[in-house]
A and B are shown apart, each in its own frame.
Chain A
Amino acid sequence: MRNDADHAALLARVLKRQSRLGLAVAAVFVVVLVGLPLANMFSPASVEFKVGGFTATWLFLGVLFYIVTAGLAFVFVNASNKIEDETIAEYRGKPKL
């Protein structure tokens, strides 16, 4: 039977690890979301060279963006599940975290 201190330690650890992971992935995503309009505004030449009739910025926003976000989601789900596995193992394996 676990006591409140065990639960508090478990909660603190889970929140810390999962929130760090979530914020790290979100940070990458936000850099892309914030960065693309900035590049469009202040450095159009760097994103408007042509690739097969499309400008690079069209190609990125119209096609590649979905691949990037799905890739970030894939990384997050695997890492988050790994944290959960470790949390279960640690909680079951040790009297205290």
Chain B
Amino acid sequence: MIPFLFVVLVTVATVVIGIVATRGAKTTADFFVAGRSVSVGMNAAAISGEYLSAASFMGIAGLIMKSGYDALWYPVGYAAGYLFLLLFIAGPLRRFGAYTIPDFAQGRFDSPSFRKIAVIFVLFIGFFYTMPQMKGAGVTMAAILNWPYAIGIMVVGTVITFNVAVGGMKGITLVQAFQYWAKLFAISVPVFVLAAVFGSPAPDSGVKNSVAGLPTVASGTTVKVKGSAAFPANVLATPAGGIALVFPKGAEIEKIAPVRKLAPNEKLDGLARPSEIYGMTVAGGGAEGLDKLKDVKFLPGTRLTSVPIPVLVDGQPLMKDGKPVTTTMKFEFATPTEVRMEAVDGSPDSPVAAPNAPNDKAWEHPFGPLTSKHGYPLLYTYSLIIALVCGTAGLPHILVRFYTNPDGRAAKRTTLWVMVMLGAFYVFTPLWGTLGRAHMPELYANNTTDAVVIKLPMMLENKLLGEILSGVTSAGAFAAFMSTFSGLLVSMSGAFAHDIYGKMLRPNATGDERMKAFKWAAVGVGVVSMVLGLFVETFDIATMVGWAFAIGAASYFPLLLLGSWWRGLTSTGAASGMLVGGVASLLAIVTSMLLDKKILTMDVSPLVRSLLEQPAIWGVPLSLIIMFVVSKLTASQIPADVDAKMLRLHAPEELGMSKNYE
């Protein structure tokens, strides 16, 4: 109940602040760019508030808990992207004085048709970024109140659509600034309390409770596991030392396989001992189909013990460092059920190593399970860095906020403060990850490390304090969905009302008509976003955000970089690069996801697999090269007044060469 009250509090505050701020929103410029009068501090807080989404608030702490050191690149990349934005894009973009990013696309090249392509990318990136926010809302409300998934989506969607439709950019600026400070409070204060109670949050703190380098849960801990719709989040990999799993309500298992990826010459002698099948023994209840390792059914009350079995090569045990190499089994659940984890010896006092958890060495050191999964950790790391850094500088809903600053210098100072504010937030995420690993490793077992910021406070012995802190983090998570969705809604509504309605359908529309179009567009986009959110319950938040970043990195980032600094860029060159780079990156990521979900089952080499999952390392250069080559081939399209346009981008406002759209 307490977490719910905190969520209500932050939601009411959002509505009230939105209504108060809306009183000043009267003109078209107020709706699209907040009158271009937002101060550096306010805009920096609003940009930070908008940027810190569900992926940042819940996902990063969860990913650090799950993957360790390698996941630190995510917050670093999210924050560091703003340095590239500052160095090459923020000042020039603001000086161009547009309302939307497609305005820049048309104005820089005098090409109305290029505006259409730019609008499509705004909407594409916007909707891909909206879906994980909606999922975050649904999942959080389900976690804290057991509400149906759809209700959280409806609450967040309705509140924000109301705020945006009523007050536009001016209405949401104050709201987003407030939500930044709410999120900073929510990510920092609870973790100080938790660290004071639990002790050091240093990365090696998990070692204190470990068995063979794995974090442990108390014997008898029960978790709810997911079904095949959530694959690969329905997998439970038993720990190296073995474990006993009790299924109080029975279980349906789609597949049982060794945790170790066996080389072609490696085999398991799984039926060597008559009492065991691949190291598994069953007591109580009963099992059907266990020997086939497929479509296995465990009856209610079954206690399944799984212990390591030796790996054989040519009939002989495979040895490493003088010891036989062993593996345990992993289970893919077909339907959701409950699993109780117990020690193999049955003693309630024996600690149990958490299933699915990486060992301390893999978790603490670079090139662990996240980046090494396809065998090319350095390549994976660099591609991830490029995607995050360039993707940040290519997100239209973030870029449009720079038009709200009074001038180019303010835009640059704003970016500097955004970096400070994001750093102040992200520095706390590793603490959540390390404390979660040490004190709530059961989240590994059912692949719910995303919920660590919501659930970890509940581990405190003082239940009231735990509920209050969980309420604070739940409110922070809600602020995250709401602020990011606000910005996305303004960006997409602006694209519909200004670019499609005001520039393509009715170029003679008055300011009032465009404002009305903005309000209707906000309602329409809000409803579509809520509907889309209903379809992505089984998708991973970080994956969906990754799509938006990959498309942004290979489309808008090259356009803005070259468009701001190279006179020779033509509209055909820019459009070709955006389309090929953006679409190829999207296809690569979707292919990778389909392979992950086993919908596609083709043989792909580990190198290609890495490049599909993290396409930025080739997608960004591909887009830049195509822009360069095609622009050279179509040099006759370079606008005659390109020097005037470049001066508009780069000359200080004091020289009178910049111009704002009216």
Contacts and interface: CB of A to CB of B under 8 A. Distances in A.
Contact of A70 (B382, B385, B420): B420
B654 A70 contact: no
**Which residue of A50, A57, A61, A73 has the most chain B CB atoms within 10 A of its CB atom?**
A73
Given A29-B80, A37-B381, A41-B367, A77 B72 contact: no
Task: Specify the main secondary structure of chain B where it touches its partner.
Answer: helix
Given A8-B643, A37-B381, A76-B86, A61 B73 contact: yes
A36 B558 CA distance: 25
Contacts of A61: 69, 72-73, 76
Given A61-B72, A88-B652, A76 B87 contact: yes
Q: How large is the interface on B (under 10, 10 to 19, 20 to 34, 35 or more residues)?
A: 35 or more
Interface in B338-371: 364-367
Interface string A72-93: 1110110011001001100100
Contacts, number: 126
Interface residues of A, number: 47
Interface in A1-53: 4, 7-8, 10-11, 14-15, 18-19, 22, 25-26, 29, 33-34, 37-38, 40-41, 44, 48, 50, 52-53
B126 interface: no
Contacts of B426: 66
B203 to A, nearest CB: 5
B471 interface: no
Given A53-B204, A77-B416, A69 B79 contact: yes
Contacts of B643: 4, 7-8, 11
Contact of B382 (A7, A8, A37): A37
A37 B646 contact: no
B74 to A, nearest CB: 11
B203 A84 contact: no
A59 to B, nearest CB: 9
Contacts of B422: 66
16 contacts: A10-B651, A26-B84, A33-B80, A40-B366, A53-B203, A54-B203, A57-B69, A61-B76, A62-B430, A66-B76, A66-B422, A66-B423, A69-B79, A69-B80, A70-B419, A80-B91
Given A18-B650, A65-B76, 6 more contacts: A7-B647, A10-B655, A52-B202, A69-B83, A73-B415, A88-B655
Interface of A: 4, 7-8, 10-11, 14-15, 18-19, 22, 25-26, 29, 33-34, 37-38, 40-41, 44, 48, 50, 52-55, 57-58, 61-63, 65-67, 69-70, 72-74, 76-77, 80-81, 84, 87-88, 91
Closest 9 CB pairs of A and B: A53-B202, A66-B423, A40-B366, A22-B87, A84-B652, A62-B430, A61-B72, A73-B416, A37-B381
